Structure 1
Amino acid sequence: MSTSIAFAAAAPATSQRSRRRASPYPGWFFLPAAIIYGVLFLVPTFSSLYFSLTRWTLFNSTFIGLDNFVQFFREPFLVQGVVNTLIFAVVTCTLKVVFGLGLAVLLTSDIRFRALLRSVVFFPVLVSAVGVGIAFTAMMHPTRGIINVALELIGIDGPGWLTNPALAIYSVAFVEVWRGVGLAAVIYIAGIMSIPTDYYEAARIDGATGWDRFRYITLPLCRPATVTVVILSFIHGLRNFELVWAMTRGGPGFASDVLASVIYKQYQAGFYGLSTAGNVVLFVLIATMAVPLYLFLNRKEGHE
């Protein structure tokens, strides 16, 4: 009796699994996306791996093994470029999280012109990085830039934002924060709006202050949004090139060079295999830092 009942209970599940396995639709549904992914990502990736082991031009290539990587790691300003890349990624990621969350809290509160302000905050994301770089280069001019002119009016001698080797990379990082914080704010707004309002009502009834509601409700329940903002901002900071090149060209000297600009300078000099090897190094650097960070953040979320 029990055997027949177990068989009867298992039979529908077995038949359902067989029907799911026999269905051709899931595979065909993902096939166009798989083809596009393969053509636009997998083929260029493996091609880069091959060409990084060659000395190549547009018409021919010669296999030289790991010589490009050896030469790339001997670049005199490579260490400076890696350090600047990490500084840029950490500074921009941290400030986007802080300011993005602050703007999201403000723009989800009961304020006037909330929809308009959300559009204004997001607008810089839509502007070209090169255009933003050119505009801020003019604004940060040491003598004629509007920033230093405004500081001079209140008796402050403005620094050389892009001409001082100690400030150049940080100045570019702050411009990147201005440009990209809108996207972080939008992600946080979506996270805050997904929190049930019952939690806030219950907290108000219990006498919780605004800070208590932020600390014990908004901040913990926005953790998925925080993970998304951290990962996207960190990866973008590691691979940033356009803004650095538009504002400083890696200067003054090599003070604001990042890894991507070092690679581009090798390409400009005609060392195509060397620059391809640098791209592989950059890819590995991003993967080895972003993937463990993503796993760590999600593991902490699961434990809590």
Structure 2
Amino acid sequence: MSVTTQHLGVRTRDSVRRPRRRPAYPGWFFLPAAIIYGVLFLAPTFASLYFSLTRWTLFNATFIGFDNFVQFFREPFLIQGLINTVIYAAVTSGAKVVLGMLLALLLTSQILGRAYLRSVVFFPVLVSTVGVGITFTVLMHPTQGMINEGLALLGIKGPGWLTDPTLALFSVALVDVWKGLGLATVIYIAGVVAIPKDYFEAARIDGATKVQNFFYVTLPLLRPATNTVIVLSFIGGLRTFDLIWAMTKGGPGFASDTIASVIYKQYQAGFYGLSTAGNVVLFILIGVLVVPLTMMLNRREGHE
């Protein structure tokens, strides 16, 4: 017994003294990536923080403290822009989750032309956002647009998709969903394909229906894909600008303004420090909303 204990003690000491395994790559191997990250992200971020506290032009900058932030929050339509931004992000991310999951289930089933349909669904992701915006602006014209003309053939009077203040933001959100749905679908397809077939075989043996298969097997196992789609879509919705500017420029009036479009309007007016402060506000808003959301989703996934 003592010999065994002594032997184990020696082995334990040897394992403690064993040198650590060296990493596969030396530290300097990551230096180029660190330099690129520092130049393209860290440096502009800290520069923006500084210039948001100044009144600056291309040639000089005068430090004014938090005056830009105070003035930015005094903008009469900023609150509306904040509300529009959150609504837009929630609507687009929610629609992409639901429609992306349904399309993924359809495109992983045994249907004719499955590979072709996958390409069709993903194609809008590859198209220029500005080009999509201009195209749908023409299609959604209240009197000459193809959509309203098609509705007129059915005896339905089409609304002012982009001219009605109550519809403009949601019309742009609909186009955003159409364009970004392909990426969400691809993420869900990868999640569906990764589910082991054993789960479905076990559920079939237990007599589960297709609906029960979906709610008790597919849906829980797609939670990582769902979390990814929610976070990516929500971030994209919060920082959206190009599609809204191409279709409505924040109009009619300020009905479809988001924080990004408000910032751009300040930049157009020559208030560079004010617009930089707006960018900092947008950065903080994304962090305040997305970080807790990500933590909550990861916590729920861990409890599953």
- The separation in 2 between residues aligned to 1:66 and 1:4, in whole angstroms, is 69
- The separation in 1 between residues aligned to 2:249 and 2:255, in whole angstroms, is 10
- The separation in 1 between residues aligned to 2:88 and 2:13, in whole angstroms, is 57
Q: What residue in structure 2 maps to residue 156 of structure 1?
A: 156
- The separation in 1 between residues aligned to 2:239 and 2:133, in whole angstroms, is 16
Superposed displacement of residue 10, structure 1: 3.9
Superposed displacement of residue 205, structure 1: 2.5
- The separation in 2 between residues aligned to 1:92 and 1:294, in whole angstroms, is 17
- The separation in 2 between residues aligned to 1:67 and 1:136, in whole angstroms, is 40
SS at match of 1:65: coil
Q: What residue in structure 2 maps to residue 259 of structure 1?
A: 259
Superposed displacement of residue 198, structure 1: 1.2
Q: What residue in structure 2 maps to residue 11 of structure 1?
A: 14
Q: Which amino acid in structure 2 is aligned with residue 6 of structure 1? A: G
Superposed displacement of residue 14, structure 1: 3.7
SS at match of 1:16: coil
1:247–1:198 Cα change, 3 Å = same
Unmatched 5+ stretches in structure 1: none
Q: Which amino acid in structure 1 is aligned with residue 114 of structure 2? A: R
Cα deviations by residue, 1:37-91 (Å, 9 ceiling, x for unpaired): 1111111100000000011111111111100000000001100100110110000
1:24–1:114 Cα change, 3 Å = closer
- Cα RMSD (Å): 1.3
Q: Which amino acid in structure 2 is aligned with residue 250 of structure 1? A: G
User: What are the within-5 Å matches in structure 2 for residues 21-170 of structure 1?
Assistant: 25-170=25-170
SS at match of 2:249: coil
Unmatched 5+ stretches in structure 2: none
SS at match of 2:83: helix
- The separation in 1 between residues aligned to 2:17 and 2:239, in whole angstroms, is 48
Cα deviations by residue, 1:97-151 (Å, 9 ceiling, x for unpaired): 0000000000001111111110100000000110000000000000010111111
Superposed displacement of residue 4, structure 1: 5.5
- The separation in 1 between residues aligned to 2:89 and 2:67, in whole angstroms, is 29
SS at match of 1:85: helix
- The separation in 2 between residues aligned to 1:142 and 1:13, in whole angstroms, is 76
Superposed displacement of residue 269, structure 1: 0.5
Q: Does 1:280 align with 2:283?
A: no
- The separation in 2 between residues aligned to 1:291 and 1:162, in whole angstroms, is 33
Q: Does 1:224 align with 2:227?
A: no
SS at match of 1:143: coil
Superposed displacement of residue 3, structure 1: 5.3
1:100–1:28 Cα change, 3 Å = same
SS at match of 2:55: strand
Q: Which amino acid in structure 2 is aligned with residue 29 of structure 1? A: F
Superposed displacement of residue 28, structure 1: 2.1
How many residues are aligned here? 301
Q: What residue in structure 2 maps to residue 248 of structure 1?
A: 248
Superposed displacement of residue 26, structure 1: 3.9
- The separation in 1 between residues aligned to 2:64 and 2:89, in whole angstroms, is 33
1:10–1:243 Cα change, 3 Å = farther
- The separation in 1 between residues aligned to 2:68 and 2:10, in whole angstroms, is 64
Q: What residue in structure 2 maps to residue 238 of structure 1?
A: 238
Percent identical across equivalent pairs? 70
- The separation in 2 between residues aligned to 1:7 and 1:252, in whole angstroms, is 80
SS at match of 2:18: helix
SS at match of 2:162: coil
- Relative to structure 2, which stretch is displaced further, 34-43 or 228-237? 34-43
Superposed displacement of residue 24, structure 1: 8.6
Q: What residue in structure 1 maps to residue 183 of structure 2?
A: 183
- The separation in 1 between residues aligned to 2:212 and 2:285, in whole angstroms, is 39
SS at match of 2:166: coil
- The separation in 2 between residues aligned to 1:214 and 1:116, in whole angstroms, is 25
Q: Which amino acid in structure 2 is aligned with residue 303 of structure 1? A: H
Cα deviations by residue, 1:236-268 (Å, 9 ceiling, x for unpaired): 000000000000000001110000000000000
User: What are the within-5 Å matches in structure 2 for residues 197-216 of structure 1?
Assistant: 197-216=197-216
- The separation in 1 between residues aligned to 2:139 and 2:6, in whole angstroms, is 81
- Relative to structure 2, which stretch is displaced further, 78-87 or 30-39? 30-39
- Relative to structure 2, which stretch is displaced further, 232-241 or 36-45? 36-45
TM-score, scaled to structure 1: 0.96
